Every structure is written in C-alpha cells, then in structure tokens.
Amino acid sequence: MGGLKLGIIGWPVAHSLSPAMHGAALGALGLEGSYAPFPIEPSELEAKLAELRSVGIRGLNVTVPHKCLVMPFLDRIDEEATRIGAVNTIYTDGDAWVGANTDAPGFVRALEEGGAPPAGKHTVVLGTGGAARAVVDGLANAGAASMTIVGRGVEKAEELTRRFSEYHPDVDFAALSYGPALHEAFTGTELVVQTTTATLNDGPDCAPFVDGLPMDRLPTNAVAMDLVYRPLQTGFMIAAGRRGLRTLDGLTMLRHQAYLAFELWTGQPAPADAMSDALERALRHA
C-alpha cells in the first residue's frame, strides 16, 4: 500500500485504540496512507525496527514495554523525551528517526480542556512509572507550584524528584510513600493525578489502593484525574466523586497525545472531531 505508512509498536498491541483514531484521521483529511499495529517482542525490537525502516514507515506510536527500550535505536531524541526518559512517538526528519513524547503536552492539554490548568497549583502525582514521568514533566512545564510524587517505596519517588528538580528548579518537589504521610499532602493539594495501573479494569488491586488513599483530606475544590480509561469511571474517580470533587478521565489525554503525534507525522492540524468519534466507536466495540 502506498502513501504515508504509520503504525504502533508494543507487546502486546492488539488492544490499542490508536489504529481507530489515526485511520480515521487519514480518511478525514483525504490522505493516502495506512496505520497498522506491529506486535514486537522486546528481544526482537532492534531487528524489527530495522525492518520497519526498510519498508518506509514514516511514523510510529510506541507503547509498553518499548517506550524506554526504543531510545538507543533512534537517530535523535527531542528535548522533552530526553527529560522524561521515554519515547511514545517516532517521526522522521529527512532520513532520521526522531523520538518524541506527546504524553506530557497531551496531559496538560487534557487538564486545560477540563478547566484545570496546573499553573500555580499544588499537585500530587500517584505513581513513579513511565506515565508518572510524563505527568511530572508536563505539570512542571505548565508552571505547577509544588509536586509531591508518591511511590510504593519512597526510593523511586526520591529518584524522580532529584531528576526533575534538575530540569525544573522552580518547582517545589517532595517524595512520599503510601501511608499516613499522605494525609498532609492531600490536605494541601489542588490537583491529584493517578498514574498507576492499580485502577485498571477494576482489578483486585483497585479497592485496597483506593481505600488506602485519604480522599476525605482533599479540599472540595481539588480536581482528581485518573489516566486509566478502562473503566471510564475508575474506583479512584468514584471515590473522588463521593468527596464532591471534579474528576477527569484518561480518554482526554489519550486523544490529545494522539492529535500531537498526528501533527508531527503530517505537518497538518489533527482532525480532532473525526479522531474523537472514532475513539468512542472503538471503545463501544472493545
């Protein structure tokens, strides 16, 4: 098939909603091209990337577990992806493959769309994984006043505070582990972001995780966002709703990071309505 060849790499990748969104985007703009999922085992990543380059792939989304693993095999990493330490989008600049990260700006755009711009806010980030790193960088770029990063063990949280303090010295960072110390952090926060997989699919970890959070300490004007979107209303969001808080789901971030990736590949504004409609249809049939 001719035209613009795009796709997504991951392991597994069959569950991805990106083909629906980007296929719809190509169609809406009348662009000849295709978007395909490429399931790649980690041990085969270097060889399979070389194959994709050889057949003229011009852009890729990158999902777990390859967001960090892919970086050594690219020609260049942009500034944001370097800070975060992960790539979720690959685009071409001439013959070069360039790694970018649209998760951080996509997350900030989702907050802004939801009426919760983070500038000047006191924030809490639950989790220390790849999604948390993008959220931390996005919040800091957008001018958050303070950020408490919370991990199962405080060591990983401390590692992230050290890393991002170097890039964002104006932000007041702190590191905590789950437990009683969260009470004070929640009392003063205006935005709490859940980045872990604990709430995914209402799994067995969800209820103990949510029950261990001092949601009653959050100010009633705080905003709670969960990056998980399966289910759309997670246990964390339900608990925040009981507290009377405004909640934001992960679909908005998913959409915005996709818009930004599409713009990197095509140089054209993403057809947001077509992509959003395709996402909703795909979710209904998932």
Catalytic residues: 67
**Rg of the Cα trace of the chain?**
19
Residue 218 near residue 246, CB atoms below 8 Å: no
Contacts of 9 (CB under 8 A, 6+ apart): 38, 39, 40, 45, 48, 49, 52, 60, 61, 62, 63, 66, 70
Task: Give me 234's structure tokens.
Answer: 């997670």
Q: Which residue has the tokens 């991002």?
A: 164
Query: Where do runs of H (alpha helix) occur along the chain?
Result: 18-28, 45-54, 66-69, 79-84, 103-113, 130-141, 154-167, 182-187, 206-211, 235-242, 251-266, 272-285
Residue 236 near residue 226, CB atoms below 8 Å: yes
Task: Give me 251's structure tokens.
Answer: 């679909």
Ramachandran sector of residue 33 (left: φ over 0; alpha: ψ -120 to 50; beta: rest): left
Q: With the CA atoms of 97, 36, 226 and 270 taken in that order, what torsion angle do they form, in degrees rounded to the nearest 10? A: 70
At position 217, the amino acid (one-letter code) is: R
Q: Which residue has the tokens 């662009």?
A: 31
